[in-house]
Amino acid sequence: MPLIIHLSLLFFSWIFYFLGSNQSSDSKVNILLGQDPSATTEALSANILLPEDAIQLAKNEFIVADTGNKYLKRLYDGKLSVVAGSGGQASKLNLSTISTPSENLTTFRVIKLNHSQWLSFSKEGIRLHSPKKIKFIANSYTLNDENYVLNFPQFAKKTERGIFVFDGEVGRKRFLKLQDNLLIPAKLLSREILNRNLMGFDICGERLVISLQNINGDVTFYRESKNGVEYLFSDRPYSNGIKCIDDNGFIYGARWELKMFKNGTTSVLSDRFVHISSIRDSLKANTFVITDSDSDEISLFDLETKRKDVVISRENAFLSSVITQFQLLADGKTLLAMTPTGSIIRYNISTKSFHRLIDPNRTAIWNHLLNGHKFESLRAFALDEINNFLYLASNHGIFKLNLQNGEFALFAGSESEYGNSDASRLEARFAVIRDLLLFDGSLYIADAWNDKVRQIDLKSDMVKTILGSGMNEIYNENVGIDVCMPALDMALNRPLSLAVFEDKLIVANSYSHYLVSLPLSNMDEVCLFAGRPIPSKNQYGGSFLDGFRMSASFNGIQHISVSGQKLIVTDMFNNAIRTIDANGNVKTLFAFKTHTPQAAIFHGGNLIFSALSGTLNSARINDKDL
Poorest-confidence range of 4-8, 123-127, 446-450? 4-8
pLDDT at 507 over 90: yes
Q: Rounded to whole angstroms, how far apart are CA atoms 584 and 601? A: 19
Q: What is the mean pLDDT of residues 318-327?
A: 67
* Alpha carbons 543 and 10: distance in angstroms, whole number: 7
Model confidence band, residue 6 (pLDDT cutoffs 50, 70, 90): very low
Confidence (pLDDT) at 202: 93
Q: What is the reported pLDDT for 12?
A: 39
* CB 383, CB 345: distance < 8 Å: no
Residues in Cβ contact with 486 at an 8 Å cutoff, skipping those fewer than 6 apart: 524, 525, 526
What is the average pLDDT across 573-599? 90
Q: Torsion angle, CA of 105/106/108/109, rounded to 10 degrees?
A: 10
Q: Residue 356 in 3-state DSSP?
A: strand
250 vs 255: CA distance, rounded Å: 16
Angstrom distance (rounded) from CA 402 to CA 547: 44
Q: What confidence score (pLDDT) does residue 17 get?
A: 40
Beta strands in 282-341 (DSSP E): 287-292, 297-302, 306-312, 325-328, 334-338
Write out pLDDT tens, residues 160-198.
889 999 988 877 888 999 999 999 998 777 655 667 788
Q: Report the pLDDT value the prediction gives residue 465, as an integer from 0 to 100.
A: 98
